[in-house]
Chains A and B, each alone.
Chain A
């Protein structure tokens, strides 16, 4: 865990990351299989230490609701939470264009070594959108 030398705060994360880690938005409490969805996608691998599941409900070609589960570190949890905030209410095409950088910027930045391994939520969302479209 790298230390923030400016503040002597042991957290290498920004306050926004910390907030999303401690108070994750839109995550599915309890059994996610009971969360009815129009599309779902899962990425990552527990062997690598990170896995994200994203489920979406679609209305009028927009993401009406989004729910998720994440196995992983603080950065993985916060970035999936951030993705859910970014995606909610957007059109499918618009939401499908959310990038890792956009998630990272939303969170006020992430430690370099975390960026590549833990920001995967947008890929799970992409799979969820494809999953939804494949059922049409």
Chain B
């Protein structure tokens, strides 16, 4: 199988597996307790949790106590948004659903920042509307949540510039504006420093960088407001109740430690990705390249006109090639990708979109193998289609 779907989830790293098996064996032997317990097995578990938190914090240049372990990126994102319930919330139009849905439900109002064809947010729109809100009510809390990199198309958003705009407004008005970035897709692929970015909150997750599913982190800058989503015990400094998951945290920790050194290898991944762009451009001429220049090094989203994405995906699956699509048919709600709709305002482009997300092990040979199949598959689906080239030419 050639796996071009690392943006959905990455394969577990063998070092992560080994560490988790080691901990499971110690747990079977009764050596590890609940990290909240004061006895020796509890302390051993607590030590593992502290070590994991340090490893995870280092990857984004944060202090360990600024990190909260959660069950996933969705929980981290929901926690931030719910902290600002009934406040104005700015989001980009192409945020992940785990930001968009709670912001729409709990923001008063939820203001969606439009994006251009590259998927980059309109900073002018943002600044104007933020200044207007602050002027109307200088005392209200405001949340701005803009992802660092988009999950479907890979666009990198100007988060640092957003932070500067907020900083300037705050200096002039003392407004209470807070910035969150969902860096789920970015962390591990490009260098990310919470401090450098100037954000108050940052979400990232384990299973996008070779760690296990079921654990993620939320960075909360010291002093930033934070309302727990789950109340109960005093875990995570009273910010997230529930018995600490030492096993998953340790796996996440190892994955982060490895990711820190692996980031430089994404230069090579980018070369392979760029090779794929050229191959597709040369061999499937009608293709629309959706992923912009300023993007993650490992993502390529394209749209094949007249070829519906689920069909392309299923034909490729039969050739043992795994990709993802923004077509409505592939989604649970039968709506085409809101990301590509916000960029192109064209359902056909969204229905025809296919995402290739590469990993550190993806080689040029994998691309060559893909390209022995892809042009024929696209041509076959286009020939079946009512929207094929002949029809379009005949209609002109």
Binding site for B on A (CB under 8 A): 1, 10-11, 21-22, 24, 27, 29-33, 42, 46-49, 51-53, 69-77, 113-114, 117-118
Contacts and interface: CB of A to CB of B under 8 A. Distances in A.
Contacts of B348: 46-47
Given A1-B330, A53-B386, A70-B384, A21 B314 contact: yes
Contacts of A30: 383, 390
B385 A70 contact: yes
Given A32-B390, A49-B351, A74 B310 contact: yes
B169 interface: no
Nearest to B389: A31
Contacts, number: 84
B309 to A, nearest CB: 8
A37 to B, nearest CB: 14
B314 A71 contact: no
Given A48-B328, A73-B310, A74-B314, 14 more contacts: A1-B314, A10-B317, A21-B314, A29-B383, A33-B390, A33-B391, A47-B347, A49-B328, A49-B347, A51-B386, A69-B388, A71-B387, A72-B329, A114-B329
A53 B384 CA distance: 10
B78 to A, nearest CB: 25
27 contacts: A1-B314, A11-B317, A21-B314, A22-B318, A27-B384, A30-B383, A31-B391, A31-B394, A33-B390, A33-B391, A46-B348, A46-B386, A46-B387, A47-B347, A48-B328, A48-B347, A49-B327, A51-B386, A53-B386, A69-B384, A71-B385, A73-B311, A73-B329, A75-B329, A77-B311, A117-B329, A118-B329
B306 interface: yes
A51 B387 contact: yes
Interface residues of B, number: 28
Interface in B294-318: 306, 308, 310-311, 313-315, 317-318
A33 B385 CA distance: 13
B334 interface: yes
A70 B386 contact: yes
Interface of B: 306, 308, 310-311, 313-315, 317-318, 327-330, 332, 334, 336, 347-348, 351, 383-388, 390-391, 394
Nearest to A51: B386
B310 A32 contact: no
User: What are the 9 closest A-B residue pairs judged by CB atoms, nearest first?
Assistant: A73-B329, A31-B390, A73-B310, A71-B385, A47-B347, A69-B386, A71-B386, A49-B328, A51-B386
A31 B317 CA distance: 28
B interface: dominant SS: helix
B140 to A, nearest CB: 39
Contact of B334 (A24, A70, A76, A117): A117
Counting chain A CB atoms within 10 Å of each CB, the highest count among B310, B328, B334, B383 belongs to B310
Contacts of A70: 384-386
Nearest to B330: A1
A49 B386 contact: no
Contacts of B394: 31, 33
Contacts of B310: 1, 73-74
B130 to A, nearest CB: 34
Contact of A46 (B311, B314, B351, B384): B351
A22 B384 CA distance: 11
Contacts of B384: 24, 27, 69-71, 77
A56 B353 CA distance: 32
A36 B311 CA distance: 28
A27 B310 CA distance: 19
